[in-house]
Amino acid sequence: MLTACTKSEDLSVRGSTENQVSEEKYDEQVQETPSASEQTQTSPAEPDQAEPAQPALPAPSSNCDSEAQPEKDDCYTKLAQNTSNSAFCDKISDSKKKNYCYSNLILRGLVDAELCNRLSETFYYKELCYSKLAEKNSDPGFCDKISDISIKDTCFDVVARAREDANLCDKLSDSYAFKPTCYSLIAAKKQDVSICNKIQTGDATSTPQENKDDCLAGVAWMNGDINICERIVTQSSKDHCYSGVARMLNNSDICLTISTSLAKASCLATVAIRLDDPSICQKGSKTEIIDDCYSTIVMGTKNNIALCDNIRDESKRRVCKLYA
């Protein structure tokens, strides 16, 4: 029994001693190891040290580096998307995946010249990248880098309108359907009829002259100048011009210069509504114009059904009351 007790005491002393040594070693390790707050604390940046443009790349021991090659490329693609950092795309080995990695960032709004240049020359999105870059900076120089004619036309069109520069419309191909519109919008904004003279192309629905006349009509509206309408050759465009200027100036007398009855009635009705003066319809002189004018007012405002009684044609009067 004594021997057993002695052994037990020896074991107890030995265990106590070992625990004490372990605790001492642990205390030493704790003292040598920085705390969590000390580990995350960073030294202040130097005053003249520039901030990094992009987040730092993961260390070589990151999960991406430990993946097999196909999975590694996918891993970097996800990192690029999550951090909007194109540097991760640079680490992708597969050229196709690398291109799509860059293009995804471009779609997210990360557009710059360097990123566009990184795309392969044969990759379709490279030209779209230049187009987006041109639009973002209103810089036609990037449009010149585009070889695809449809993308280039759209690029120059967008930049031309943004800069209100009709000379950029000149760069559009004659086959581009919106080339006349490019000139017309800029001419109207700048109230410059000389820009309309640049229009030399038509399309499936209009001739070059009609496009030029529509351009003049737009400038006339913006200026409120009926004299510009007189320069228009095509009658339909001239009527359109008169109508626009009449509405712009709320001048019912200009409506009377319109050649077609229906367009004249519509013009008179619009001015009558704006001036709250239905009697303007009587200026139409012809029964057809007067009736259509009153009908347009009632149906357009959905009130004052009594005006329908001024309509002489019985069928039109009945329809007016039905839909008032």
* pLDDT tens per residue across span 278-288: 999 999 989 99
Asked whether the CA dihedral 236, 237, 238, 240 is positive or negative, the reply is positive
Give the per-residue pLDDT at 323: 80
Q: Full-prediction pTM beyond 0.85?
A: no
Cβ neighbors of 213 (< 8 A, separation 6 or more) are 232, 233, 234, 237, 238, 241
In the chain, which residues have pLDDT < 50?
1-52, 54-61
The domain locations on the chain are 64-122, 252-324
Distance CA 142, CA 130 (A): 5
Residue 13's alpha-carbon distances to 7, 9, 20, 290, in angstroms, are 10, 6, 10, 120
Cβ neighbors of 286 (< 8 A, separation 6 or more) are 261
Give the per-residue pLDDT at 312: 95
Give the per-residue pLDDT at 148: 94
Residue 32's alpha-carbon distances to 28, 42, 90, 96, 172, in angstroms, are 6, 18, 39, 49, 71
